[in-house]
Amino acid sequence: MTATARRTAIATARRIIFSGLTILGVWVFLIVLRNFLAPGAIESIGQSRPAFGVAPDFNDWSHSWSTGKPVADMINLRTGLTLQVVGLGMLLALGIAALLLCLGMLVRRVTARPEWLVRTRTILRLVFISGGVSIPVFVWSVLYLVFVIRSGNQLPSTHGQVPWWSVFSVSLLPAWLLIQTGHGEQSKWQDNPSISYKQKAAQLGIKLVVRLLKLVGAIIAVAMLAGAAPLGNLLMDSLSSMDLPVAFRVAWYFAVAVVVVKLAADLIEIACRPAGAIPGPQTPGETRDRLRTAIPKGWLIFCFILVFVSVMVAVIGPALAPYGVNQVSMTDRLAPPSAQHILGTDNVGRDTLTRLLYGIRTTLGVSLLSVAALAAIAAGWGVLARWASKASNWVGEAVEDAIMLPRDVLCAFPWLVLFLMLITLTGPGFLQVAFIGGLVLLPRAAGMMQEAYRSPPVGRSPTGAVLWAIAVMLLFAVAGGILYTSAISYLGVGVPPPQPELGSLLSGSGRVYMIQAPWIALAPSIVLSLLVFVWVMAGDAVLERLGFRSKAVWSKVME
């Protein structure tokens, strides 16, 4: 057996073994959580009789506590449509990404000269991609409903069929994440004449497929937020009613599916790594292109100014609010934008601008608090994993995988699934959402650190890359915290009213009165998207300015 074949065999066996350990860890985690939750759940549920009229057997986890139906039957009824939505969303995302990457390559060839045009194109591409990944799927869904219904059109009827508009919604975020990954791969060999176009296309296709499979957890979470995953809807319904047998079984199915699909991605990556491998990071072509297309320092400063402005709005914005945060005026209910109410009022006459300013403080405050709790642990985790991988052999890789095993166990649950399960334990609230947000972000922040030291900047050591990556991790983690906080509040289990939060502003009166008063839904949608955009663009700018060769760091937040 050759050295390459032996290395491939060892890597394959290692990934299979650690995937098995991950599934075992998921099972142990669910058992521990089940034992911790069961007493409180029994006491809560036992206060009222279930809908089907028979007292449930709380020791029987094979039947629903709410309906008495077999859990397996309830899941099987919804599995098929969920698989169709997720699978079609993945295929559509791959097609959209491939199309836009091809267009990007054409634009690059046309704008290869002069230097100022190259720099301008780099900034526009950064804005374009950062903007694409900054629109939460629930914002897109609400805006879709506002514009479609107000235009006089009817919503498409599914009648048990695949909801195509939901499939399109599900495909948007992974498509943009694939574009980020594809751009990173293109930048490695675009000026290297030793690689043929056929090799470039094959390598890029493999990378996109592998990244798409690794994003399966993000796609499941997006489908749940879009209301397009029947299994996800079953999970949320079962958690709201404390029907734990159903909730835990759905979570188990999702986790096993994510682990299996990611294992397939790892095996594809291992099998294709020896063939068509990309040359090392310090080739003259890459170095030259890195210098030509680096983000200008002035733009980086501008991104940090935007971040500072967003923080200052959160800090001093409520002090500038024209009205009280919960000041009610029934005579002004559903008033359109005017000089008196710049962004109009909601269904009870509360000023929309005032509630937006307070909502920004709540959303960003929860996110910053979550990141403050995880930053040191995530950075130490990344440094420790990098130290283990310095051996540069299968032993070092195995030790690194062992260090990252807790991360793999937690990331086996799509972030929304894990968040919903944990928030059920603590209940909604500002501090609860911040604490659980930190727990959910922690393994994903460690993944960002790992992605960074595996693709260090040209001329920098991997260990130095870990330290430089801390700033990138912090910016992306805050953006992820904003998305997590708003998504959970949008689903009604985050920061409770009357305290305004951008997600709850969008899901409450914003959805109910979107036809009579569309400004109630439009205002928080735009502000939330802009807030995420500012932090994501700043993270992307730092990532590229420092010269990290991987552009998949942000996607780790969504796993």
Q: What is the mean pLDDT of the segment spanning 291-313?
A: 86
| Residue-wise pLDDT tens digits, 30-73 | 998 888 765 555 555 555 444 444 566 677 788 888 888 888 98
pLDDT at 276: 39
The SS3 of residue 345 is strand
Q: Which of 136-140, 193-197, 232-236, 460-464 has the highest mean pLDDT?
A: 232-236
Q: Which residue has the tokens 């836009």?
A: 100
pTM for the model stands at 0.89
73-89: average pLDDT: 90
Report the candidate in 178, 165, 171 with the shortest Cα–Cα distance to residue 214. Answer: 178
The domain in which residue 463 lies consists of 3-320+342-558
Classify residue 371 as exposed, middle or buried by CB count within 10 Å of its CB (0-12, 13-18, 19+): buried
Confidence of residue 284 (pLDDT cuts 50, 70, 90): very low
The number of folded domains in the chain is 1
State residue 457's pLDDT score. 77
Does the residue 253 lie in any domain? yes
User: Residues with Cβ < 8 Å from 312, sequence gap 6 or more?
Assistant: none
- Domain assignment present for residue 330? The answer is no
Look at residue 332 and tell me if it is in a domain: no
Q: What is the pLDDT of residues 472-501, one digit of tens each?
A: 889 999 999 999 999 999 888 888 888 889
Residue 184: count other Cβ atoms within 10 Å of its Cβ: 20
Average pLDDT, the chain: 82
**Integer CA distances (angstroms), 331 to 347, 390, 500, 517, in order:** 10, 68, 21, 15
Q: Which of 218, 214, 222, 244 is nearest to 45 (CA)?
A: 244
- What pLDDT is recorded for position 504? 87
- Alpha helix positions (H), 281-351: 284-293, 297-316
331: in domain: no
Tokens of 89: 């969303």
- Give the model's pLDDT for residue 279: 40
pLDDT at 21: 94
The structure tokens listed for 168 are 């399109």
Angle between helix 115-132 and helix 164-189 axes, rounded to 10 deg: 150
Beta strands in 128-215 (DSSP E): none
**Is the pLDDT reported for residue 530 higher than 80?**
yes
Residue/partner pairs of 434-440 with CB below 8 Å, 24 or more apart: 434/366, 434/369, 434/370, 434/373, 435/370, 435/373, 437/366, 437/367, 437/370, 437/481, 437/484, 437/485, 438/369, 438/370, 438/371, 438/373, 438/374, 439/374, 440/410, 440/415, 440/484
Q: Could you read off the pLDDT of 378-407 as tens digits, one per residue?
A: 888 878 887 877 666 777 788 888 888 999
The residues facing 63 across adjacent strands are 70
Q: Is the peptide bond before 114 cis (omega within 30 degrees of 0)?
A: yes
Residue 335 is assigned to a structural domain of this protein: no
Residue type at position 324: G
Question: What confidence category does residue 280 fall into, taking pLDDT thresholds of 50, 70 and 90?
Answer: very low
473 part of a folded domain: yes
Candidate from 119-128, 258-267, 290-299, 346-355 with smallest mean pLDDT: 290-299
Average pLDDT over residues 217-246: 88
Does residue 206 lie in a domain region?
Answer: yes
Q: Is residue 428 within 8 Å of 42, Cβ to Cβ?
A: no
The answer to whether residue 334 is domain-embedded is no
Residue 228 has pLDDT above 70, yes or no: yes
Q: What are phi and psi of 351, to 5 degrees?
A: -70, 125
